[in-house]
Structure 1
Amino acid sequence: MKFQENTETHLFNTSFGKILGLKENRIIKAKNIRYAYSERFQKPIALSPTDSEIAFPEKTPVCPQNISPLLEKMIGKTNLDDFEVDESPQFISVFRPEKIHKDEKLSVVVWIHGGSYEIGCGDLPTADPTDWVKEQNLIVVTVSYRVGIFGFLGGTADRPANLGLFDIIEALRWIKTNISDFGGDAENITLFGQSSGGDAIAHLMISDGVEDLFKRVIIHSAPLGLRLNRSKMSEEFLKNTEHFNKETDTFEIVETYKKNPPSFLKYGLKAAMPFGTQYDFPPLCNENEVEEKWRENARNIDVLIGLNDEETSFYLRASESLNKYLPKKIINKAIRTTTEIIYGKPAKDFAENYARSGGNVYLFRIHPRLFDNHFMGAHAIDLPFIFGNESAWQTAGILKNIPWTYIDENGKKLRKLWAEFAQSGSISDDSERPEILVLRKI
């Protein structure tokens, strides 16, 4: 990669190889380190250590995907010139404070991005963890993995299911093995994910092959209400795309798989998220065993789980057709109902069942208290509070009429609380709460 003049670099001598990092804004970024490689519709193969120097590429690798106009309206435009399409997008990035004490081992937070299992990557400006790393003196690792038809639709010998989940597991193995070379504590790793990233983490908790890879989880806005009874929908969607093979052009796959999506009339709300983890296929158990698996693991993994107050508000209030034909009162009721069905009740049930099984679990709800904001507690509104980075959120529709000072003040307090949980598995009653947060230990 070409660096600007006077750019400072740092070379990490790791057991994986010599990895080049960039010093910037009091942190060191070692970006886009390949942890595995994969062929189309095949499981990932972990990369072996190398004697060569590893430098991050000029552009960020990203799994082939369709840009979502709704997502861009929610969180802002994506500069496509910064990304390069790669069907094997198994990369991680490590963000570390520039200065740490000798022999210090920092808590590690691993970010698993969301995007309905269909879009996104680990390195987006809206999830740049620089502020968090600087303020709380921890390490954040971001993970990219296969999404959509390349990572989360399968069920045959030629097209295995859950490939994106296998990618993440390989990333976690890499982190467990190598993070101490960056100053991280390999025995204190917390997974943090939002939306489908949170859903993936809930399923990683019960996946084969993850023993001792992480100690805690932070789950934001996981659509756990959509996880059951998906097998027929997945089978139908797979059949509709069975003509895609190893020789099919990538662009053709991305452009045409949506021609036969699952039907809302047939599958209801689940059709809104056609891709996802699939039970009855490795590394997951059968669907009827999931609850028991979570209960069995309750004493092993600390959990912080929750949601935003009006998760579906952007989807419904931003719809011109709905607002044209339905009164505001009906739309508001639909927002409350769908938020509870998809996110609220499943999170509460998960937390209470986990606690009854002896688990250490906290339940939270985030709600900005500004009533001139049209979307208040919408899906993804938690992200600017967690990650900061004002410039990345300038055009975000969900932040309309919310002053950045409000986000910054609440965000610093929220980041401190979440870091406290990542470091110890607990949050003190005396720790200051931001006004956007309702939090309780179950």
Structure 2
Amino acid sequence: MTPNQQNTTIFETRFGRIIALKEEGIIRAKSIRYAFSERFQKPVPAEPSASVMVSPDKTPVCPQVLSPLVEKMIGATPVETFQPDESTQYLSVARPEVIEENEKCPVIVWIHGGSHEIGCGDLPTADPAEWVKEQHIIVVTVSYRLGLFGFLGGDGERPPNLGLLDIIEALKWIKSNIADFGGDPDNITLFGQSSGGDAIAHLMISEGVEGLFQRVIMQSAPLGLRHKRQKMSADFLRKTEKLKDEVDVLKMMDEYGKLVPSIIRYGLKAAMPFGVQYSFPPLCTEEESMAQWKKNAKNYDVLIGFNNDETAFYLKTSDALNKYFGKGWGLKVMDKTVEKTTELIYGKPARQFAQHLAEAGGNVYLFRIHSKLKDNPIGAPHCIDLPLIFGNESAWKSSGLLKDIPWSHIHEYGKQIRALWAEFARTGKISKHSGRPAILEVKKVDVQQNIQ
């Protein structure tokens, strides 16, 4: 995008002059670099610039291997619009086109999911345009290092948690600059799904985040996979040692993929081979983590929850499993497996996390999303919350996830959920009088409750 294009505007910020595009009621400033990094090095904040900043022609994305399951269930990735970049410290700002003078909009920061391995901040299926226009909010989407580059490590040459440190640098940038876009730097909500929710949970106990955000929304965070990952991470680090100096990042991606089956012996946690690591900056030890969450409980308003049939996304979409478990007694076994694994990875950990924070004096809301469609065989699986929050029908038209769900259903319920989540972002509360869609259960966690 160049300064001569029509429908552009320039934001005069303390970071520099940033060109943004006006489109259908919103203004979007894309791919602003907030930091730089060398391979396996900590991020260095980007310096303000005297020149006009223009978004690149292609969206920068951390090198990664496309997931066949994601391509099938969510939709084909428009790879031609992306540019691999190891130093993937970029963010984009979407705000309403019209903001009153001196108005301060609540700010929601989107931390994408993808098992700490795939994705980026700017995907069509997570385009916040509808939400921004409906609720008059600002949404900042963040890209950060993933996989080998951001969420493995464990020694002096390859430090862990680099992706988490990237996000912290993004939050510092947002705190310092978002007022120049019309946002309220003292009303910032972190919002993440899946591994993005897991990252947010750990940002709550990270060093160096004081004052950077006030609220968190965690959807489908796999907190049940966070425990006792040290041996698996160390093993995977050793196995990938030969790749650390590979110049060809695409070859690097291909080769590490061949090593993933070797860690299956570590059980269910191997379903997410990359992740945050305790005992390394910016985190405490695993043994200290819950005490730290409780210590910080009063610092953040929390909205946390999950979908009723999370693991159906993986189990009920498998052709191999459906061959044996797609009907009759096999389907009953499949349904029970989905129920048990959803509870183990998402449900029970979310309820316990919410309860611990509430007991420590935190303001916590717990939600659960169901399916109300009789002819929907996979129910409310992992990722069903994404079209509900972000809308954008055209981006989801090829989605296997929604093939049995009319878009009118998604739009109707999604608009109500977007309103509730925005209410929480504005106030830290969800009123008992606010409308709730039939698919959603949400309640404030009572410290007297005994949640198992």
Q: Is the 8 A contact 2:89 2:143 kept in 1?
A: yes
In structure 1, how many angstroms separate the alpha carbons of the residues matched to 2:159 and 2:264?
A: 27
Q: How does 1:14-413 map to 2 (within 5 A)?
A: 14-261=13-260, 263=262, 266-326=265-325, 327-413=330-416
Q: Is the 8 A contact 2:8 2:20 kept in 1?
A: yes
Query: Which secondary structure does the structure 2 equivalent of 1:248 belong to?
Result: coil
Q: Root-mean-square deviation (CA), in Å?
A: 1.2
Q: Is the 8 A contact 1:21 1:31 kept in 2?
A: yes
CA 1:104/1:355 → structure 2, altered by over 3 Å: closer, same or farther? same
In structure 2, how many angstroms separate the alpha carbons of the residues matched to 1:384 and 1:79?
A: 18
In structure 1, how many angstroms separate the alpha carbons of the residues matched to 2:199 and 2:206?
A: 10
> How far has the Cα of 1:3 moved from its partner?
8.6
> How far has the Cα of 1:368 moved from its partner?
2.3
Match for 1:426 among 414, 425, 429?
429
Report the TM-score when normalising by structure 1.
Answer: 0.98
Q: Is the 8 A contact 2:307 2:370 kept in 1?
A: yes
Q: Is the 8 A contact 1:237 1:262 kept in 2?
A: no
AA of the residue aligned to 1:10: T
CA 1:4/1:384 → structure 2, altered by over 3 Å: closer, same or farther? farther
AA of the residue aligned to 1:297: N
Q: Is the 8 A contact 1:264 1:272 kept in 2?
A: no
In structure 1, how many angstroms separate the alpha carbons of the residues matched to 2:118 and 2:280?
A: 22
The one-character-per-residue Cα deviations of 1:383-424 (angstroms, maximum 9, x if unpaired) are 001000000000111112211111111111100000000000
> How far has the Cα of 1:244 moved from its partner?
2.1
AA of the residue aligned to 1:395: S
Query: Which secondary structure does the structure 2 equivalent of 1:109 belong to?
Result: strand
In structure 2, how many angstroms separate the alpha carbons of the residues matched to 1:264 and 1:279?
A: 19
> Which range is displaced more, 261-270 or 106-115?
261-270
AA of the residue aligned to 2:404: N
In structure 2, how many angstroms separate the alpha carbons of the residues matched to 1:334 and 1:376?
A: 14
Query: Which secondary structure does the structure 2 equivalent of 1:210 belong to?
Result: coil
In structure 2, how many angstroms separate the alpha carbons of the residues matched to 1:314 and 1:196?
A: 15
> How far has the Cα of 1:264 moved from its partner?
6.2
Match of residue 448 from structure 2? none
Query: Which secondary structure does the structure 1 equivalent of 2:41 belong to?
Result: coil
The one-character-per-residue Cα deviations of 1:116-148 (angstroms, maximum 9, x if unpaired) are 000000000000000000010010000000001
In structure 2, how many angstroms separate the alpha carbons of the residues matched to 1:111 and 1:368?
A: 24
Identity, % of aligned pairs?
A: 62
AA of the residue aligned to 2:350: A
Query: Which secondary structure does the structure 1 equivalent of 2:70 belong to?
Result: helix
> How far has the Cα of 1:246 moved from its partner?
3.7
Query: Which secondary structure does the structure 1 equivalent of 2:320 belong to?
Result: helix
CA 1:400/1:80 → structure 2, altered by over 3 Å: closer, same or farther? same
> How far has the Cα of 1:238 moved from its partner?
0.2
In structure 1, how many angstroms separate the alpha carbons of the residues matched to 2:255 and 2:132?
A: 40
In structure 1, how many angstroms separate the alpha carbons of the residues matched to 2:288 and 2:43?
A: 26
> How far has the Cα of 1:102 moved from its partner?
0.1
Q: Is the 8 A contact 1:374 1:400 kept in 2?
A: no
> How far has the Cα of 1:266 moved from its partner?
2.1
The one-character-per-residue Cα deviations of 1:17-64 (angstroms, maximum 9, x if unpaired) are 000010001000000000001111111110010101011111110000
The one-character-per-residue Cα deviations of 1:292-329 (angstroms, maximum 9, x if unpaired) are 00000011100000001100002111111112223111
Match of residue 450 from structure 2? none
The one-character-per-residue Cα deviations of 1:234-283 (angstroms, maximum 9, x if unpaired) are 00000000112345321221110122225565211101100000011110
Query: Which secondary structure does the structure 2 equivalent of 1:32 belong to?
Result: strand
Report the TM-score when normalising by structure 2.
Answer: 0.96
Q: Is the 8 A contact 2:115 2:274 kept in 1?
A: yes
In structure 1, how many angstroms separate the alpha carbons of the residues matched to 2:255 and 2:263?
A: 19
> How far has the Cα of 1:374 moved from its partner?
2.1
AA of the residue aligned to 1:104: E
Match of residue 8 from structure 1? 7
Q: Is the 8 A contact 1:40 1:246 kept in 2?
A: no
In structure 1, how many angstroms separate the alpha carbons of the residues matched to 2:246 and 2:226?
A: 32
CA 1:3/1:309 → structure 2, altered by over 3 Å: closer, same or farther? farther
Query: Which secondary structure does the structure 2 equivalent of 1:29 belong to?
Result: strand
Query: Which secondary structure does the structure 1 equivalent of 2:366 belong to?
Result: strand
> How far has the Cα of 1:181 moved from its partner?
0.4
In structure 2, how many angstroms separate the alpha carbons of the residues matched to 1:48 and 1:262?
A: 42
Unaligned 5+ segments in structure 1 are none
Q: Is the 8 A contact 1:236 1:262 kept in 2?
A: no
AA of the residue aligned to 2:428: G
Q: Is the 8 A contact 1:145 1:164 kept in 2?
A: yes
The one-character-per-residue Cα deviations of 1:195-231 (angstroms, maximum 9, x if unpaired) are 0000000000000010110000000000000000100
In structure 1, how many angstroms separate the alpha carbons of the residues matched to 2:437 and 2:4?
A: 39
> Which range is displaced more, 233-242 or 248-257?
248-257
Unaligned 5+ segments in structure 2 are 446-452
> How far has the Cα of 1:2 moved from its partner?
5.4
Q: Is the 8 A contact 2:232 2:263 kept in 1?
A: no
